[in-house]
């Protein structure tokens, strides 16, 4: 990403001119696996404290780590999904620091030789704009336990369930220039992780956490001093924290001050960041290769086989929806953003009019789900059910107008479209004879209007359509009705 | 009946097999002697009930006529660095006082599966850091050997000083040890016993309290090369719980003791002829070479050019790893805790009270050499030198099959000798640390007595995972040396 790509709308107006915000993100994504990175203990969320702890996790004397191959596989898959370089040799290091929830007094991480190197991720921005952001690296590391400070007036309790759980730390290049881009980055990364099944991406359960590096500069200046904001655990907060931190930094500089390199904490209650520790107070982690573990060597053929079996990812899926199914880039983007929506769409569109299914899904179903506060996986209308409804429209069994009523009932009762149409007799009338009979009746009853129409008052055509449709309970095929009415009114 | 405690394991196994005595009798003989020799302070924890129960179980197995293990009924001492289920495991440190693991180390599990009997947990330098056993929180171990006409108590070597003293004093038929820089071979040399440190990766480190993970290796101390072969065979083997344990079949080491070394090429590294080496040591070394030659070996001078850097390299790498390995002793989850007003204060008070002087010294050195700004100059540089030391050996083993050196620069010394300057003590390991840095197998064999009647050892070094050749050569050396002296009062 070149620094010369300035987007005017991203610039922040200060007292002394326009400022550019420069952002890099570090995401900790919990690897989806049944057991921890170096032990066999379980990783289920929400278990009773200290029930998922092995002697290895608790750092007992003489305990040794053994790498979990599944976690390695998940990291490599993620690297491949980020179009990144996979390092066939990587090294686990010890990051040494003392804390009560870090049983060994060190965290096993990867420092100089991570398992995954440089990659890229494409952001989907407003108005169909796309932008590429660089991935610096991805490495595997252990999570720490949890300190509970609110259980006792003077003591801290420690829960080691999370200690040793595998995390992927995914570091971006400082390529983002606005809170929107940072939010788009997180959404896209989460989407890729979910497509791959390597992390569930649930920020509220802490299985995806984010630290944001923020700096500001005048356009064209070299990079400013950055602050790292920790503890921003929702996409909304990431955007808010960036907005606040950028303004804070601009104010400091414009007041004649300078930015200290420091770690800051996002306080969601107050909606602001506050200093946690400065560079001078930063830990000396004394990294060195963990002598309990051999360098991690990957077989090139194994990596290739993972690559060959990678699921279709959102970018490729969107491109296919546009090219093969004729969807607009926008609709395709909306459908592929969440894997569940894309899966739903593909199941619904099977053997149906793909564009029509896309319209029904993005406007009708998403609208109703939003209103009901439900996700696509909780939809009362199944993918097959939506497909059936679209099928009934396509083969002229029902009209689009009737279909909306049928759909509302499907959403409320969960009944299949065919059954509703059958029960309520909503089938479209395709018999021209039957339509002609109704047209004749209406024309006879409105002879004056027929005369006016024939006298040149074209606008009355809509009146006749409405009258006939109402008489037929809305079931007349609209195209046929139009055609027959036009011909009869013409005399 | 002869004193059963003087038997070798090989002879005891024969006696047990032919029902000359029972495992219970053999164990009781040792327990009795342990009571008589408590003054040696070799054991931190004695486990007589466990020993008797294991011995009775062994007798039952033999009586039933079924399959018995390679050490069935043999009473052993276990270095108190090996975690033993339900039995206090201290690592010689106050900080682990009272710690009873809920798990059994892989090596002791292997030994028990082979039918071995545990007499107790043996004293050692705190966290295996030391060459004299003086750093143990549980007091000095006394070497059963004395200088002629001199009653001064001498050190048994270290860190496996409880192991060496117990085996020499006949209060264990053999013992487990661990060797990070010489901690099996140096105490073996100072007590007239045989000690082998196998190739790194041969024995599992799982369940052994870690000192320096890339150097630590378990091995036996016994009274003959053959007994070491039997012990090592039972201790060794691949363990999926230790990523550095090697997936390789364990040969029948005992069967490999053919006594034939015709054509064996023995290297004499010129760099080991260090300044100030005593004439006694020098003479013994030459004698060792002559013995091997007399048995058909070919003696060749070789060069291991980076030898002089080994000790400084070791004293960077070992403390660096130790400083990290010992971070877990923080008073939070097990062992001693001294309460404080904050987490940091609790750490400080606990570790200040729990660790001894030598351990603190090494944690400080290790923390220093890993610190930002010093890492490249010390730790990284040491790793490079370590690679060169390994290359020295790899090159040398193109021309020779084994290497012969002295085990230690001197015989056992008094508790107040070598005091004051820690570096003087570190020099005890000058001939042994290279082997750990290179991950090779090394064995110390008692080869003679010095002028004051104290045992001296010769070390042999083998190729990685070629303990068979090493043990075979060592046994020939042992036969030639014919070391039969006994410590007084044993």
Nearest-CB residue to B324 (from A94, A103, A284): A94
Distance from CA of A288 to the nearest CA of B (A): 7
Q: What is the reported pLDDT for A1?
A: 44
Determine the residue among A49, A59, A62, A157 to mutate to test chain B binding: the one whose Cβ has the most chain B Cβ atoms within 10 Å: A62
CB pairs under 8 A between A and B: 101
Model confidence at A5, pLDDT cuts 50, 70, 90, reads: low
Kindly determine whether residue A64 and residue B243, on different chains, have CB atoms separated by under 8 Å: yes
| Residues on chain B touching A156 (C-beta within 8 angstroms) | 343
Q: What is the reported pLDDT for B435?
A: 98
Q: What is the DSSP string of B420-459?
A: S-HHHHHGGGTTTHHHHHHT--EEEEEEEE-TTS-EEEEE
Cβ atoms of A169 and A138 closer than 8 Å = yes
Please, what is the angle between helix B467-481 and helix B225-235, to 10°?
160
When the candidates are 1.10.645.10, 1.10.10.410, 3.40.50.300, 1.10.10.60, the CATH number that belongs to A432-489 is 1.10.10.410
Q: What is the reported pLDDT for A2?
A: 45
| Residues on chain A touching B83 (C-beta within 8 angstroms) | 61-62
Q: Of B33, B79, B121, B146, which residue is the catalytic one? A: B79
User: What are A241-272's pLDDT values in tens digits?
Assistant: 999 999 999 999 999 999 999 999 999 899 89
Q: Decide if pLDDT at A16 tops 70.
A: yes
CATH code for the part of the protein at B1-490: 3.90.1300.10
Nearest-CB residue to A60 (from B208, B324, B334): B334
Average per-residue pLDDT for chain B: 96
| Residues on chain A touching B347 (C-beta within 8 angstroms) | 98
Kindly determine whether residue A66 and residue B89, on different chains, have CB atoms separated by under 8 Å: no
Nearest-CB residue to B103 (from A55, A99, A156): A55
Please, what is the angle between helix A329-336 and helix A339-349, to 10°?
120
Q: Sketch the domain layout of chain A as residue ranges.
A: 8-305, 312-424, 432-489
Kindly determine whether residue A60 and residue B241, on different chains, have CB atoms separated by under 8 Å: no
Distance from CA of B321 to the nearest CA of A (A): 8
DSSP state of B249: P
User: What are A197-248's pLDDT values in tens digits?
Assistant: 999 999 988 999 999 999 999 988 999 999 999 978 899 999 999 999 999 9
Q: Sketch the domain layout of chain B as residue ranges.
A: 1-490
Kindly determine whether residue B213 and residue A292, on different chains, have CB atoms separated by under 8 Å: yes
| Strand residues in B270-336 grouped as ranges (E) | 298-302
Q: What is the reported pLDDT for A3?
A: 47
User: What are B25-68's pLDDT values in tens digits?
Assistant: 999 999 999 999 999 999 999 999 999 999 999 999 999 998 99
User: What are B142-185's pLDDT values in tens digits?
Assistant: 999 999 999 999 999 999 999 999 999 999 999 999 999 999 99
Nearest-CB residue to A284 (from B205, B328, B371): B371
The Cα A53–Cα B12 span in angstroms is: 44
pTM reported for the whole predicted model? 0.92
What does the pLDDT average to over A389-395? 93
User: What are B231-265's pLDDT values in tens digits?
Assistant: 999 999 999 999 999 999 999 999 999 999 999 99
- In what side-by-side order are the strands of the sheet with A106-109? A106-109, A93-96, A288-289
Average per-residue pLDDT for chain A: 93
Kindly determine whether residue B379 and residue A158, on different chains, have CB atoms separated by under 8 Å: no
Q: What is the reported pLDDT for B448?
A: 97
| Strand residues in B57-212 grouped as ranges (E) | 75-79, 117-122, 174-179, 194-197
Kindly determine whether residue B324 and residue A288, on different chains, have CB atoms separated by under 8 Å: yes
User: What are B99-138's pLDDT values in tens digits?
Assistant: 999 999 999 999 999 999 999 999 999 999 999 999 999 9
Q: What's the token pair of residue B127? A: 């966290």
Distance from CA of B374 to the nearest CA of A (A): 10
The Cα B163–Cα B158 span in angstroms is: 9
Distance from CA of A165 to the nearest CA of B (A): 18
Distance from CA of B413 to the nearest CA of A (A): 32
Q: Would you tell me which residues 74-133 of chain B have a C-beta closer than 8 angstroms to some C-beta of chain A?
A: 82-83, 89, 91, 96, 99, 101-103, 105
Nearest-CB residue to A66 (from B103, B241, B328): B241
Kindly determine whether residue B91 and residue A61, on different chains, have CB atoms separated by under 8 Å: yes
CA dihedral A360, A366, A371, A373 (to 10 degrees): 150
Q: Tokens 């030198």: give the residue.
A: B385
Q: What is the reported pLDDT for A474?
A: 84
Kindly determine whether residue A105 and residue B324, on different chains, have CB atoms separated by under 8 Å: yes
Distance from CA of A291 to the nearest CA of B (A): 5
Contacts 24+ apart (CB under 8 A), A392-398: A392/A417, A392/A418, A392/A421, A393/A353, A393/A356, A394/A352, A394/A353, A394/A356, A396/A428, A396/A430, A396/A477, A397/A421, A397/A427, A397/A428, A398/A426, A398/A427, A398/A428, A398/A475
Q: Of B159, B164, B410, B473, which residue is the catalytic one? A: B159
| Residues on chain B touching A158 (C-beta within 8 angstroms) | 332
Is residue B341 within 8 angstroms of chain A, CB to CB?
no
Distance from CA of A224 to the nearest CA of B (A): 24
Residue B79 known to be catalytic: yes
Q: Of B70, B105, B131, B183, which residue is the catalytic one? A: B183
What does the pLDDT average to over A29-53? 95
The Cα A205–Cα A200 span in angstroms is: 10
Kindly determine whether residue A286 and residue B375, on different chains, have CB atoms separated by under 8 Å: yes
| Residues on chain A touching B102 (C-beta within 8 angstroms) | 55
Q: Would strands B194-197 and B442-449 be described as parallel, antiparallel, or unpaired? A: antiparallel
The Cα B66–Cα B58 span in angstroms is: 11
Q: Decide if pLDDT at B423 tops 80.
A: no
The dihedral region occupied by B292, where left means phi > 0, alpha psi between -120 and 50, and beta the remainder, is alpha
Per mean pLDDT, which range of A111-125, A442-456, B127-141, B447-461 is the poorest? A442-456
Nearest-CB residue to B324 (from A96, A99, A284): A96
What does the pLDDT average to over B432-444? 98
The Cα B480–Cα B30 span in angstroms is: 29
Q: Would you tell me which residues 188-207 of chain B have a C-beta closer than 8 angstroms to some C-beta of chain A?
A: 205-207
What does the pLDDT average to over A348-372? 94
Nearest-CB residue to B209 (from A61, A291, A294): A61
Task: Give me the percent of chain A exceeding a pLDDT of 70.
Answer: 99
Distance from CA of A172 to the nearest CA of B (A): 25
The Cα B103–Cα B84 span in angstroms is: 6
Q: Decide if pLDDT at B90 tops 70.
A: yes
User: What are B193-220's pLDDT values in tens digits?
Assistant: 999 999 999 999 999 999 999 999 999 9
Residue B245 known to be catalytic: no
Instruction: Give the count of beta carbons closer than 10 Å to the beta carbon of residue A260.
Output: 13
Cβ atoms of B46 and B119 closer than 8 Å = yes
User: What are A292-335's pLDDT values in tens digits?
Assistant: 999 999 999 999 999 999 999 999 999 999 999 999 999 999 99
| Residues on chain B touching A67 (C-beta within 8 angstroms) | 243
Is residue B25 within 8 angstroms of chain A, CB to CB?
no
Kindly determine whether residue B210 and residue A100, on different chains, have CB atoms separated by under 8 Å: no
Is residue B368 within 8 angstroms of chain A, CB to CB?
no
Residue B293 known to be catalytic: no
CA dihedral A388, A394, A397, A402 (to 10 degrees): 80
Chain A residue set in contact with B, beta carbons under 8 Å: 55, 58-67, 94, 96, 98-100, 103-106, 156, 158, 284, 286-288, 291-294
Nearest CA in chain A to B348: A98
Distance from CA of B244 to the nearest CA of A (A): 7
Kindly determine whether residue A65 and residue B243, on different chains, have CB atoms separated by under 8 Å: yes
Nearest CA in chain A to B90: A61
């Amino acid at each position: 990403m070149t620094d010369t790509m300035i987007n005017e709308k991203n610039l922040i107006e200060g007292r002394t001119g326009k400022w550019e915000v420069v952002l890099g993100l570090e995401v900790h994504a919990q690897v989806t696996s049944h057991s921890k990175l170096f032990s066999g203990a379980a990783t289920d969320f929400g278990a009773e404290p200290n029930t998922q702890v092995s002697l290895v996790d608790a750092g007992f004397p003489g305990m040794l780590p053994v790498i979990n191959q599944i976690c390695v596989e998940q990291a490599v898959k993620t690297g491949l999904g980020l179009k990144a370089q996979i390092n066939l040799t990587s090294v686990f290091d010890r990051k040494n620091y003392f804390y009560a929830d870090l049983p060994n007094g060190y965290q096993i991480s990867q420092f100089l030789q991570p398992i995954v190197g440089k990659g890229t991720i494409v952001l989907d921005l407003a108005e169909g704009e796309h932008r590429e952001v660089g991935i610096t690296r991805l490495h595997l590391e252990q999570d720490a336990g949890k300190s509970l400070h609110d259980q006792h007036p003077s003591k801290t309790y420690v829960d080691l369930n999370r200690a040793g759980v595998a995390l992927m730390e995914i570091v971006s290049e400082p390529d983002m220039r606005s809170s929107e881009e940072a939010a788009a980055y997180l959404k896209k990364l989460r989407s890729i992780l979910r497509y791959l099944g390597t992390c569930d991406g649930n920020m509220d359960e802490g299985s995806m956490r984010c630290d944001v590096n923020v700096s500001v500069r005048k356009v064209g200046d070299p990079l400013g001093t950055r602050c790292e904001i920790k503890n921003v655990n929702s996409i909304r907060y990431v955007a808010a924290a960036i907005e606040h931190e950028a303004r804070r930094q601009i104010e400091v500089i414009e007041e004649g001050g300078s930015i200290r390199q420091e770690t800051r904490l996002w306080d969601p209650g107050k909606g602001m960041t506050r200093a946690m520790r400065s560079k001078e107070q930063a830990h000396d982690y004394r990294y060195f290769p963990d002598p309990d573990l051999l360098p991690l060597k990957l077989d090139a053929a194994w990596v290739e086989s993972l690559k060959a079996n990678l699921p279709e990812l959102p970018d490729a899926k969107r491109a296919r929806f546009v090219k093969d199914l004729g969807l607009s880039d926008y609709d395709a983007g909306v459908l592929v953003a969440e894997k569940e929506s894309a899966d739903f769409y593909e199941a619904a569109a099977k053997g149906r009019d793909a564009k029509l299914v896309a319209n029904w899904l993005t406007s009708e179903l998403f609208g109703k789900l939003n209103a009901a506060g439900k996700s696509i996986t909780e939809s009362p209308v199944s993918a097959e059910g939506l497909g059936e409804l679209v099928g009934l429209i396509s083969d002229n069994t029902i009209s689009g107008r009737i279909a909306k009523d049928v759909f509302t009932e499907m959403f409320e009762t969960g009944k299949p479209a065919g059954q509703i149409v059958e029960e309520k007799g909503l089938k479209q009338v395709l018999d021209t004879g039957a339509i002609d009979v109704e047209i004749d009746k209406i024309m006879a009853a409105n002879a004056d209007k027929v005369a006016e129409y024939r006298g040149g008052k074209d606008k009355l055509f809509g009146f006749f359509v409405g009258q006939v449709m109402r008489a037929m309970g809305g079931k007349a095929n609209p195209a046929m009705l139009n055609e027959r009415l036009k011909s009869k009114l013409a005399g | 009946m002869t004193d059963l405690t003087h038997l070798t394991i090989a002879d005891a196994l024969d006696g047990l097999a032919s029902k000359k005595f029972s495992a219970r009798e053999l164990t009781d003989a040792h327990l009795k002697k342990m009571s008589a020799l408590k003054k040696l302070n070799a054991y931190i924890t004695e486990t007589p009930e466990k020993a008797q129960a294991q011995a009775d179980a062994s007798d039952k197995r033999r009586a039933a006529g079924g399959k018995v293990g390679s050490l069935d009924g043999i009473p052993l001492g276990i270095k108190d660095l090996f975690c033993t289920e339900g039995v206090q495991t201290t690592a010689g440190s106050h900080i682990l006082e009272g710690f009873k693991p809920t798990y059994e180390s892989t090596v002791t599990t292997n030994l028990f599966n082979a039918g071995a009997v545990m007499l107790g947990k043996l004293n050692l330098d705190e966290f295996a850091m030391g060459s004299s056993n003086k750093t143990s929180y549980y007091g000095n171990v006394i070497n059963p050997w004395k200088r002629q006409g001199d009653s001064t108590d001498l050190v048994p070597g270290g860190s496996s000083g409880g192991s060496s003293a117990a085996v020499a004093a006949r209060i264990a038929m053999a013992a487990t040890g661990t060797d990070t820089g010489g901690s099996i071979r140096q105490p073996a040399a100072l007590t007239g016993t045989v000690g082998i440190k196998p190739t790194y990766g041969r024995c599992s480190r799982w369940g052994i309290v870690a000192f320096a993970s890339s150097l630590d290796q378990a091995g036996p101390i016994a009274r003959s090369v053959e007994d070491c072969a039997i012990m090592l065979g039972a201790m060794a083997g691949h363990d999926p719980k230790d990523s550095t344990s090697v997936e390789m079949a364990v040969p029948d080491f005992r069967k490999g003791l053919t006594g034939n070394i015709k054509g064996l090429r023995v290297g004499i590294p010129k760099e080991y002829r260090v300044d100030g080496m005593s004439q006694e040591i020098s003479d013994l070394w030459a004698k060792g070479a002559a013995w091997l030659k007399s048995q058909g070996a070919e003696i060749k001078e070789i060069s291991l050019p980076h030898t002089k850097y080994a000790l400084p390299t070791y004293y960077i790498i070992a403390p660096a790893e130790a400083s990290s390995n010992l971070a877990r002793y923080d008073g939070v989850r097990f062992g001693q805790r001294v309460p404080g007003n904050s987490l940091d204060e609790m750490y400080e008070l606990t570790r200040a009270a729990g660790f001894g002087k030598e351990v603190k010294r090494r944690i400080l050195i290790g923390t220093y050499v890993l610190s930002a700004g010093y890492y490249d100059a010390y730790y990284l540089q040491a790793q490079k030198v370590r690679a060169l030391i390994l290359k020295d050996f790899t090159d040398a083993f193109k021309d020779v099959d084994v290497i012969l050196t002295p085990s230690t620069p001197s015989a056992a010394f008094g508790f107040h000798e070598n005091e004051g300057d820690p570096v003087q003590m570190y020099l005890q390991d000058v001939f042994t640390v290279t082997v750990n840095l290179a991950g090779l197998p090394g064995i110390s064999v008692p080869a003679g007595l010095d002028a004051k009647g104290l045992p001296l050892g010769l070390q042999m070094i083998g190729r990685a995972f070629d303990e068979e050749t090493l043990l075979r050569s060592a046994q020939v050396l042992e036969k030639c040396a014919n070391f039969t002296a006994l410590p007084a009062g044993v």
